[in-house]
Amino acid sequence: MINNKGRYTELIKTEAGRLGFLSCGISKAEFLEEEAPRLESWLNKNMHGEMGYMENYFDKRLDPTLLVPGARSVVSLLLNYFPKENQTSDTYKISKYAYGTDYHFVIKDKLKQLLNFIGTEIGEVHGRAFVDSAPVLDKAWAARSGLGWMGKHTNLLTKQLGSFYFIAELIIDLELDYDHPVTDHCGSCTACLDACPTQAIVEPYVVDGSKCISYFTIELKDQIPASMKGSFDDWMFGCDICQDVCPWNRFSKSHNEPLFDPNPEIMKMSRQDWEEITEEVFKELFKNSPLKRAGFDKLKDSIDYLKE
């Protein structure tokens, strides 16, 4: 008798690779018992700052069957975004993930193709695609699915490729063969904790989101507190410091997704160009960019904060 679970699992993983995903892991769709007390404690300590949406849908964040009735499997996928080139050293910095087209567009399209493939090749399978725009603990699911371990900076890490990749999921009502978590390889290293200029990594595996440069430059609606002055190291949108110093990212390899290629106009912008950018130019340059999320006013505030 043919083991359909194994055949379906192999079909899905092969197609994920064909679509350009780095890797694909699968775990059983069930309540995240270990993560529940951690998430509750994190929220109770107000480490989400003004990100009120983190408090919403607490149960759904922990139970995929509340997002997809009858869910049996969580299919986790990684997509590389490590760039071939970086910004010039003497300018205001943006996170590497924001160099090209907004990843939500790119990954959603690939996930739709994968869901369609499953429907065509396997049959009537119900499910939903998620790219960090719904209450899904993507790093927890990726770790459960054996795609890496949660580093001390709380990013997913792999020995082969480091951490510069996006995580996405399909939650489907199809039973598959499940993968197993891998071991932690952070060891005694504290590079990320030592390098964080705002001490946002309050202890290994715990990040106070309300102290993170990414929070201040993207999520915070109010003015950046004066107490943070001088600690941003010229980051105006996001921050890559904890990833840049991680020894495992020595193994990062450039992506092969054309839509993630840097916008050449952005890459050559000097400090003066950023300081003089107009709303019209911003809207044109960043119409399909992650920077659009922060918005023109927020970006200008961050730049003004850095140059004062």
Cα–Cα nearest to 42, from 126, 125, 154:
154
pLDDT one-digit tens code per residue, 118-127? 999 999 999 9
User: Where residue 263 falls among pLDDT bands split at 50, 70, 90?
Assistant: confident
Give the pLDDT score at 52.
Answer: 67
- Mean pLDDT of all residues in 67-78: 96
How many structural domains is the chain composed of?
1
Instruction: Give the chain's mean pLDDT.
Output: 92
- Mean pLDDT of all residues in 213-242: 93
Give the pLDDT score at 204.
Answer: 96
Residue 6 has pLDDT above 90, yes or no: yes
132 catalytically annotated: yes
Q: C-alpha dihedral over 117, 119, 122, 123, to 10 degrees?
A: -160
Domain range enclosing 276: 1-308
Tokens of 187: 């060891």
Q: How many alpha carbons fall within 13 Å on the CB side of residue 165? A: 32
Q: Among residues 90, 102, 109, 132, which one is catalytic?
A: 132
Residue with tokens 């920077």: 291
Rounded to whole angstroms, the Cα distance separating 308 from 300 reads 12
Q: What is the pTM of this model?
A: 0.93
Which of 68-82, 165-179, 194-208, 217-231 is predicted least confidently? 217-231
Residue 1 has pLDDT above 50, yes or no: no
User: Where residue 38 falls among pLDDT bands split at 50, 70, 90?
Assistant: confident
Name the β-bridge partners of 235: 93
User: Where residue 45 falls among pLDDT bands split at 50, 70, 90?
Assistant: confident
Name the β-bridge partners of 271: none
Q: Which helix (H) or strand (E) holds 127?
A: strand 127-130
